[in-house]
Amino acid sequence: MPDPVVLLDRVSRTFAGTTPVHALRHVDFRLEAGEYVSVVGPSGSGKSTLLHVLGLLDEPTDGLYFLDGINVALINDAERTGLRGDRIGFVFQDFHLLRHRTVTENVLTALLYNRFPRRERHGAAVEALERVGLGHRMDQTTDKLSGGERQRVAIARAIVSRPSLLLADEPTGNLDTATSESVLEVFDDLRSDGLTLVVVTHDETVSAHAARHVRMVDGFLSETTSGRGTR
């Protein structure tokens, strides 16, 4: 059996302070390749903290995290950065694009600091943009794009390195319903191609696209449904 993409074993994340914040409490979570999971829960319940830990932007204060079978507590900072660049794609609510750069340049920024072969970078950017339906916008600067197009550029940037895990934090939070649909269709396609997806959302419509649903409450994670094809 291949390793799960994600295995969290009683992971906790406590933020120190006069009143310590228990953002994650004893979280067990296993994610197989190709799963599409939504994460819902109240504000402050630990959803973003969970994504940051999964995306190697933050570390557990307790418990173990295995990414593709690798115990990430045992690797050094350079290895961690390399692993993040190779295996993780991140999509944020507010896109995080460079405004005065072209669509293609924005996608290429994801490959600047990883081990992706230099000669294959441009072709990979074109391929990623075609996958999100933006093959015709490659030379446009991003300030001239609609919100939905911007988010699709951000998705292309997140998938260009061919990660094993795509993490999205409220990816449709700044989009209207019609525009959100174009982003959700892209996620559906990526899922069909075998990518593993974790999407944090407060929107039921967005959550319904996932086959598996988890809920965070006060740092605790619980499974609300599981199994494929619940849509």
Token pair listed for 154: 């951000």
- Taking the least distance from each CB to Mg ion, the nearer of 38 and 104 is 38
- 3-state SS of 139-184 is CCEHHHCCHHHHHHHHHHHHHCCCCCEEEEECCCCCCCHHHHHHHH
Question: Are 203 and 197 contacting, i.e. CB atoms less than 8 angstroms apart?
Answer: no
Token pair listed for 183: 């982003």
171 binds ligand ATP (CB under 6 A): no
124 binds ligand ATP (CB under 6 A): no
Q: In this structure, what is the dihedral angle of CA atoms 74, 76, 79, 81, given to the nearest 10 degrees?
A: 110
20 binds ligand ATP (CB under 6 A): no
Number of residues that bind ligand ATP (CB under 6 A): 11
Binder of ligand ATP out of 49, 161, 179, 207 (CB under 6 A): 49
Chain residues in the site for Mg ion (CB under 5 A): 48
Pairing of strands 196-200, 36-40: parallel
User: Minimum distance from CB of 45 to Mg ion (Å)?
Assistant: 9
44 binds ligand ATP (CB under 6 A): yes
Q: Residue 43 binds which entry of Mg ion, ligand ATP, none, with Cβ cut-offs from 5 to 8 Å by kind?
A: ligand ATP
Binder of ligand ATP out of 3, 15, 94, 224 (CB under 6 A): 15
Q: Residue 46 binds which entry of ligand ATP, Mg ion, none, with Cβ cut-offs from 5 to 8 Å by kind?
A: ligand ATP
